[in-house]
Amino acid sequence: MPELPEVQTTVNGLNKTVKGKKIVDVWTDIAVETPSLPHHFTSTKSTKFFNEFKKLIVGATIVKAERRAKNIFIHLDNKQSIWIHMKMTGHMMYGSYELDKKNNQWVPAATERNAALRDPYNRYLHTVFTIQDKPFGSAQDLRQLVLSDVRKFAKVTILPTDTIDNELDIGPEPLTKEFTLDVCTSQLLKRSNRAIKEVLLDQKIISGIGNIYSDEALWLAGIHPLRLVKDITPAEMKLLYEGIKVVLEKGIDFGGDSTSDYRDINGERGKFQAAHNAYRMTGKPCKKNDGGIIERIPFSGRGAHFCPAHQML
Ligand SMILES: [Zn+2]
């Protein structure tokens, strides 16, 4: 699942490619949610609800994109925001696409020169925003902002921009100035009887951390993933706090992590997977040269990776 660095990489890409541009059409074959019908999920198959969704988007100009936890918000100039959660395998790309009417499927246009958009991972297009790429341009200046998602869990919603805060129940953003060691400690201690890895994954405690970056931060801090929060010493807490910031910033610097399906706005892989110390490094010697071999233990349906030599229970 895309975590903070991947979502931030996408948001940075959106601000480079579509900021200030107008949306002239929208197409989807997955459920979308509209604000006046908050409990109705709809798709192009359900014309009435889709038309409402479309009416709020078409003709609007994109003011900017913003990340909140693992959510993407594309703010429009009509006080509405498109809310996208990429969930497990979603990612957004920008390029020239066309609708293959026979198969009701969007594909890269013959004129599209970016080969990465033809990557098999990038072919599962379920929502397409057609964008006027240049102001006052012709039909040749149309481009598409697309959501590719092989597993179709991604969520697309439109809502009034001023209601976003009410919709989100998320903890502090770890890369902000406000996220001090004290804030980090008091947030984690809200779940003092729980395993630290579980608490790091709780979006209500700290925003944006998932499986990859929790394993990496705990490796840096030398803390076993199953240690209870209440047993973590202040010195270890400081190392963990610094580790969280280091791994998330590094993730952004590397353009995100593409161990799974994540791709950036150009359909390219991120590079953080080449810098892992713990995540999916099972059986490899620990890079601290402490004689440890990275182990994987089952953890809430997935896994936790750690070095038994310097991350002891
Ligand atoms: Zn080690």
Write the pLDDT tens digit of every residue in 71-83.
Answer: 999 999 999 999 9
Q: Is the pLDDT of residue 43 over 50?
A: no
> Apex CA 5: angle with CA 64 and CA 77, to 5°?
10
Q: Is the pLDDT of residue 34 over 80?
A: no
Q: Is the pLDDT of residue 38 over 70?
A: no
Residue 241 Cα to ligand 1 midpoint, Å, equals: 19
Q: What is the pLDDT of residues 94-140, one digit of tens each?
A: 999 999 999 889 999 999 999 999 999 999 999 999 999 887 667 67
Residue 215 Cα to ligand 1 midpoint, Å, equals: 13
Told to judge if 288 belongs to the known catalytic residues of this protein, a careful annotator would answer no
Tell how far CA 134 is from the center of its chain: 28
Please give the pLDDT value at position 154. 84
Percent of the chain scoring above 70 in pLDDT: 94
Residue 294 Cα to ligand 1 midpoint, Å, equals: 8
Told to judge if 263 belongs to the known catalytic residues of this protein, a careful annotator would answer no
Which amino acid does the sequence have at 249?
E
- Token readout for 158 is 């439109």
Q: Catalytic pick from 22, 70, 143, 191?
A: 70
Q: How many residues belong to the chain?
A: 313
Residue 25 Cα to ligand 1 midpoint, Å, equals: 52
Residue 295 Cα to ligand 1 midpoint, Å, equals: 10
34 strand-pairing partners: 37
Question: 22-60+70-167 and 181-306 share one CATH topology?
Answer: no
Q: Catalytic pick from 45, 134, 151, 302?
A: 302
Told to judge if 2 belongs to the known catalytic residues of this protein, a careful annotator would answer yes
- Segments making up each domain of the chain, as ranges: 22-60+70-167, 181-306
Q: Rounded to 5 degrees, what are φ and ψ at 38?
A: -65, -20
So what CATH class is 22-60+70-167? alpha beta
- Token readout for 286 is 């620990």
Select the CATH number that applies to the domain covering 181-306 from these four: 1.50.10.150, 1.10.8.50, 3.30.70.100, 1.10.150.120: 1.10.8.50
Please give the pLDDT value at position 42. 45
Percent of the chain scoring above 90 in pLDDT: 78
